[in-house]
Amino acid sequence: MVDVDPDQTPADDEQPKPSSKKKKRKGNFWKELPILIVVAVGLAALIQVFLGRVYMIPSESMEQTLHGCYGCYGDRVLVDKITYDFTDPSPGDVVVFRGPQSWQNDFVAAEPGNVVSKSLQWLGSLVGLPSANEEDFVKRVIAVPGQTVKCCDDQNRVMVDGKALDEPYVYYAAGGSTSQESFAELKIPDGYLFVLGDNRNDSCDSRCQGGGGQAGLVPIDNVIGKARIIVLPPTRWGGVTDHNPQVVSMGAPGWQQSVPMGVGIVAAWPVLLLGRRLRRRLQR
């Protein structure tokens, strides 16, 4: 039996070489990277289906609350898809919805030039860089079921149930008319919304879509979600106003106020996870 001195260190050639460890780590990193990417994209897709999704503003109809223009890079807005599972849209909410059959969008989406462009466009929509969709609209809720809306009073204000609205978000383009187009009195039936664009004289909405009247109303079932946060470009980061034009705002319930932050954190988690793993690997 051979006695072994516990203080004796192994020979140099028996010790693992640092360089081999580093090579092994790098090898594992490149093997794990595709898996991390697939997991991150998959989580982002699931989040956009059930919790919140990013939409692009393609036109100027919601200026200056939301920026958009024909053929340029409009605001990207995070839309909360949870809130309306518990409550119906309220006056002042900026909502994204599928256009009814009678509606026609005020822009034409550019078709991808080839298969590669189409694939990149699809991938971008999964991770929060969507392209414009001709079937989706974004407008502000003005009147809800049971209410009567008309325009205008002697101060050129929209009226709901005989009371003038307080609309600080309304925008009139420079050099254009500052008098909004009038429309006949209309009572909103159950299950429908009356919506208008903030850019009041450059928006085809419930006043003109389908010829106006009942055909211009939006079914509540068509509402996808509530616009909460401008996420891109960075210079435009901020919340989307939901000022109620009919009453003095008392603030949303606590659980509702927590929704945008929760959705934002969850939506960003796959990207943060992937970035953290990449940073750890590169630092080794």
Known catalytic residues are 61, 139
Alpha carbon 270 to its chain's center: 17
Q: Is residue 244 packed enough to be buried (19+ CB in 10 Å), middle (13-18) or exposed (0-12)?
A: middle
Candidates 133, 101, 100, 102; CA nearest to 222 is 100
In angstroms, the Cα distances linking 279 to 19, 40, 128, 129 are 20, 15, 22, 23
Residue 87: both structure tokens together: 């409550």
Adjacent-strand bridge partners of 193: 218
- Residue 137: helix, strand or coil by DSSP? strand
- Residue 209: helix, strand or coil by DSSP? helix
Q: What is Dmax (Cα atoms) for the chain?
A: 109
Q: What is the DSSP string of 112-132?
A: PSSHHHHHHHHHHHHTT-PPP
Alpha-carbon distance 217 to 11, whole Å?
83
